[in-house]
């Protein structure tokens, strides 16, 4: 069983699997919707190196759909501050992983460009389909 929840800035899907499998599933689901992972931040490793603290498995994926990014940047270059679309894969407990996907429409609220709304809506629909594929 997979649970989903909507937040103010995105959607979270709870998976019952191990961390490595969840990470692979998320990457494949993003790829199916035209997103590549440009960046991957291993928060667990970074906190261990920088602070010497133990933290749960937690990755921030910077997902990018190049055609959508090009359309958005062409309309408003400062939208680069909001790119790429972040996706978080985090272990809640052993065998329980939360995948959080940003809502591009919510992020767009900080910019007042009407021409960005269709691009954000397209990205949001794609990320909704990613979440739905993870939930099935």
Which tens digit of pLDDT belongs to each residue from 109-119? 777 788 889 99
Whether 11 has a pLDDT exceeding 90, the answer reads yes
27 within 8 A of 33, measured Cβ to Cβ: no
Question: How many Cβ atoms sit within 10 Å of the Cβ of residue 133?
Answer: 16
Domains of the chain and CATH, by start:
3-126 (3.30.310.70)
Global confidence as pTM: 0.91
Question: SS3 for 130?
Answer: helix
């Amino acid at each position: 069983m997979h649970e989903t929840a909507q937040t103010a800035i995105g959607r979270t899907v709870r998976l019952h699997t191990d961390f490595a499998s969840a990470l692979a599933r998320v990457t494949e689901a993003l790829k199916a919707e035209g997103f590549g992972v440009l960046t991957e931040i291993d928060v667990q490793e970074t906190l261990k190196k920088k602070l010497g603290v133990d933290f749960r498995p937690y990755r921030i994926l910077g997902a990018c759909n190049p055609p959508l990014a090009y359309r958005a940047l062409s309309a408003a270059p400062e939208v680069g501050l909001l790119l790429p679309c972040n996706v978080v894969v985090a272990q809640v407990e052993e065998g329980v992983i939360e995948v959080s996907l940003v809502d591009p429409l919510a992020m767009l609220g900080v910019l007042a460009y009407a021409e960005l709304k269709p691009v954000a809506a397209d990205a949001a629909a794609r990320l909704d389909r990613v979440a739905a594929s993870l939930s099935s």
